[in-house]
Chains A and B, each alone.
Chain A
Amino acid sequence: MDAILAQLLNGLDKGGAYALIALGLTLVFGTLGVVNFAHGALFMLGCFCAVVFRYLLTIETVTVDPTQLSPWGAPVEVRTPLVQSWLGDWGAFLVDYSVPLSVIFAVPVMLVIGIVMERGLIKHFYKRSHAEQILVTFGLAIVLQEIVRSFFGANPVPQPIPADLRVAADVGVWFGMEAYSVTYPTWRLVYLLFSAGVIGAVFAFMRFTTFGMVVRAGMADRETVGILGIDIDRKFTIVFGLAAVVAGVAGAMYTPLLAPNYHIGMDFLVLSFVVVVVGGMGSLPGAVVAGFLLGVLQSFASMNEVTSIFPGIDQIIIYLVAIIILLVRPRGLMGRSGVMES
């Protein structure tokens, strides 16, 4: 029982990241009709938003303090981040919580990146074939990736978890089990809640705002919305920016779990595409359900009891499920009929 609960949490956690990336991917596909292979790169840029934010916060002054001596008698260099010397304890708090706070930094940055990308390149590809869309966004992903590498190098850049959240949470107690039977890293729980929150926010935005209503109408029938006098292209540009923001914040919060390097996006891209296809191209709830489902499946498949029967199943379960779903139910779990079926 406790093993199952632990694996369930693991899976939901992983699924949260998949769902967030897939959400943006399917949003772009549903509105703009563009297959965006650069979406993984947006996730990666989000990761590096966190890195840059921390770098900015920890610009430090180095002073030599003659009163303090190191064990071999030399004066110690004292490094104080500028933020700390300006703001005192508040500054120390900022540095400690750099990762969650970087989300605030990532939102405007990713919005601008997304809008520039859409206006600069993607908008010329609405009328072209899906193959060409895949190709151009794949090229763009390479470019973004290499730009990041030329600034940050090829090595992963680890990001710390805030000190207060480094402890393990005693999850078992919440479910009426004995104390310390199931413990789980707090940051992973935070990530799970965060992804649930972002997903909820996106759905609320699409559901309850006029903007969301127009966008949903545009997804259903672009032409009619245009005839009604609404500049649907402009709305869709913002949707692309929104998708970039969702991918970006997903990346920024993920940095303590997996140290980002320049090709982290490519690693997630394939998986999130599989998630979108399983959920149904262009279906928002499908992407979320499929994301969590595949995450949970993957973590259950990696249990010892399962791998002893089917060795290696944990490596391929996601692809296997995707293949079966595509062959049996090509429009995915919750896809609308007629989308991309030929």
Chain B
Amino acid sequence: MFSLSRKDFTLLAVFSVIVMTMPIWLQPLGAAYPGLMQKFVIYAIFAIGFNILFGLTGYLSFGHAAFLGVGSYTAVWSFKLLSMDMIPALFFAVVFAGIFALFIGFFSLRRSGIYFSILTLAFAQMSYSLAYSVLTPITNGETGLLIARDDPRAIDTMLGVGQSASGMPMPSLIGIELGGYGGFYICALVLIACFFLSQKIFASPFGMALRGIKSNPTRMIYTGFNTKPYMLTAFVISGMFAGLAGGLLAVTDPIAGAERMQWTESGNLVLMTILGGVGTLLGPVIGAWVIKYCENIFSAINTQMLNGFFEFLPDGVQSVAVTVMSKFVGEGWHLTLGLVFVLIVVFLPGGLVEGAEKLRHRFRRRSDTYDLAADAQEKRT
């Protein structure tokens, strides 16, 4: 059950090392804050889950943010009603997101192509509007769902787990409070588990069937596959990943708001996956990291830093350069994101991973031809 091919095992080992040593290698990049690294890890999980649907089956869902939102709300409710422990919170987040995905998927998957995208978009927008209006008793509307000191917490009271004397209760794991690096390492472990799971799915017959549906659905049906349950399973799994990510967001910061469900959030998720590389194992993770990293770094740059950066230029040129560049950083970093995204889709539809692959091939071919030439040279002499 836990066996992996040699190549996958190496990848998993390297990946685990990279994730666990994040605080070290992010230090020189200026992003080694626990809060930020938690975001890296959580959005990577979100993107991995999305990739299982979009990467394997080619069905472009524009409603995944809804599952993230459901996961967050469920987790916070679990904190409020049951326990501050993260295990029940994550469990219920995954289960509820899964049920929700089953419902949406059952209807949406009756159509394919653009209609599927619009259906998921419509369902997600519907949940978003409802979260803001009628469901306010559950979602607490615009304020967002918060935990309070005097929530019931049935399990905690039953077990007699004492609340800390002062301040808000913090999410915990079997009695250990999760804050800062503790929270990051827990999320990192979950990410590695998710990565392993996605490797298994990619390598399994189930994953092959999904790829088959992507390349030729009609043929799959002719060969005797009933594609519907496969698609639905993929959709639910990917919704559960999103629910898990939403639950983890609530674990690291126990608040849930409806803005997480807005369709632009789903759009951002699509951006991450495409940027990294659709249908590859590492791509979505890389995409999520790059976007979250740039979001934090680019949006923090201000004109003063730009002035310092362009100091070597003559005065007039410097001010022009700073004015132009300031449109692309700080508040306007989304402009950079949009431009990069358009360029990626136009020139490199496979994302960064495909780009790296192409580069590698080019170098290898060059060295191969060089070797051949050298061999020929040797033979001649």
A319 engages B122 (CB within 8 Å)? yes
Distance in angstroms from A35 CB to nearest chain B CB is: 6
A150 engages B332 (CB within 8 Å)? yes
CA distance A128 to B135 in the complex (A): 41
Known: A135-B270, A149-B332, A316-B126. A277 touches B115 (CB 8 A): yes
A266 engages B342 (CB within 8 Å)? no
- Closest residue to B116 on the A side, CB-wise? A326
A135 CB contact (under 8 Å) in B113, B132, B339, B345? B345
**Interface residue B95 (Cβ < 8 Å from any Cβ of A):** no
Q: Which residues from 92 to 135 on chain B have a C-beta closer than 8 Å to any C-beta of chain A?
A: 107, 110-115, 117-119, 121-123, 125-126, 129-130, 132-135
CA distance A318 to B66 in the complex (A): 18
Q: Which of B110, B267, B345 has the most CB of A within 10 A?
A: B345
CA distance A149 to B337 in the complex (A): 14
**Interface residue A270 (Cβ < 8 Å from any Cβ of B):** yes
Known: A270-B263, A327-B110. A142 touches B118 (CB 8 A): no
B107 engages A327 (CB within 8 Å)? yes
- Compute the total of residue contacts between A and B using a CB distance below 8 Å: 113
CA distance A323 to B106 in the complex (A): 12
Q: Which residues from 246 to 270 on chain A have a C-beta closer than 8 Å to any C-beta of chain B?
A: 266, 270
CA distance A66 to B181 in the complex (A): 68
Known: A277-B118, A340-B113. A150 touches B335 (CB 8 A): yes
**Interface residue A322 (Cβ < 8 Å from any Cβ of B):** yes
CA distance A143 to B333 in the complex (A): 10
A316 CB contact (under 8 Å) in B130, B341, B342? B130
Classify the interface of chain A: helix, strand, loop or mixed: helix
**Interface residue B60 (Cβ < 8 Å from any Cβ of A):** yes
B345 engages A139 (CB within 8 Å)? yes
**Interface residue B210 (Cβ < 8 Å from any Cβ of A):** no
Query: B342 contacts which chain A residues (CB < 8 A)?
Result: 121, 136, 139-140, 143
Query: A315 contacts which chain B residues (CB < 8 A)?
Result: 126, 129-130, 132-134
Known: A266-B264, A323-B107, A340-B113. A131 touches B338 (CB 8 A): no
A323 engages B117 (CB within 8 Å)? no
B341 engages A139 (CB within 8 Å)? yes
Known: A139-B341, A143-B342, A147-B335. A322 touches B122 (CB 8 A): yes
Distance in angstroms from A132 CB to nearest chain B CB is: 6
- Closest residue to B345 on the A side, CB-wise? A136
CA distance A139 to B130 in the complex (A): 28
Q: Which residues from 262 to 291 on chain B have a C-beta closer than 8 Å to any C-beta of chain A?
A: 263-264, 267, 270-271, 274
**Interface residue A134 (Cβ < 8 Å from any Cβ of B):** yes
CA distance A316 to B134 in the complex (A): 10
B125 engages A319 (CB within 8 Å)? yes
Interface size bucket, A side? 35 or more
Query: A316 contacts which chain B residues (CB < 8 A)?
Result: 126, 129-130
**Interface residue A212 (Cβ < 8 Å from any Cβ of B):** no
- Closest residue to A143 on the B side, CB-wise? B338
B346 engages A124 (CB within 8 Å)? yes
Distance in angstroms from B324 CB to nearest chain A CB is: 11
**Interface residue B334 (Cβ < 8 Å from any Cβ of A):** yes
**Interface residue B144 (Cβ < 8 Å from any Cβ of A):** no
Query: B58 contacts which chain A residues (CB < 8 A)?
Result: 131
**Interface residue B327 (Cβ < 8 Å from any Cβ of A):** yes
Query: B179 contacts which chain A residues (CB < 8 A)?
Result: none
B126 engages A281 (CB within 8 Å)? no
CA distance A315 to B60 in the complex (A): 25
CA distance A154 to B113 in the complex (A): 34
How would residues 136 to 173 of chain A score, 1 for a CB under 8 Å from any chain B CB and 0 otherwise? 10111111011101100010000000000000000000
B338 CB contact (under 8 Å) in A134, A146, A277, A322? A146
A130 CB contact (under 8 Å) in B114, B339, B345? B114
**Interface residue B349 (Cβ < 8 Å from any Cβ of A):** yes
How would residues 173 to 185 of chain A score, 1 for a CB under 8 Å from any chain B CB and 0 otherwise? 0000000000000
CA distance A270 to B111 in the complex (A): 18
**Interface residue A78 (Cβ < 8 Å from any Cβ of B):** no
Query: B274 contacts which chain A residues (CB < 8 A)?
Result: 135
Q: Which residues from 227 to 271 on chain B have a C-beta closer than 8 Å to any C-beta of chain A?
A: 263-264, 267, 270-271
**14 more CB-based (< 8 A) A-B contacts, given A141-B338, A316-B130, A327-B107:** A132-B345, A132-B349, A140-B338, A142-B338, A147-B335, A277-B115, A315-B134, A319-B122, A319-B129, A322-B118, A322-B122, A323-B107, A326-B115, A326-B118
Task: List 10 A-B pairs, minimum CB-CB distance, nearest first.
Answer: A312-B134, A142-B338, A146-B335, A139-B341, A315-B129, A143-B338, A139-B342, A319-B122, A319-B126, A136-B345
A-B contact pairs, 10 of them (CB 8 A): A35-B114, A130-B113, A138-B341, A142-B337, A142-B341, A143-B339, A149-B332, A273-B118, A316-B130, A319-B125
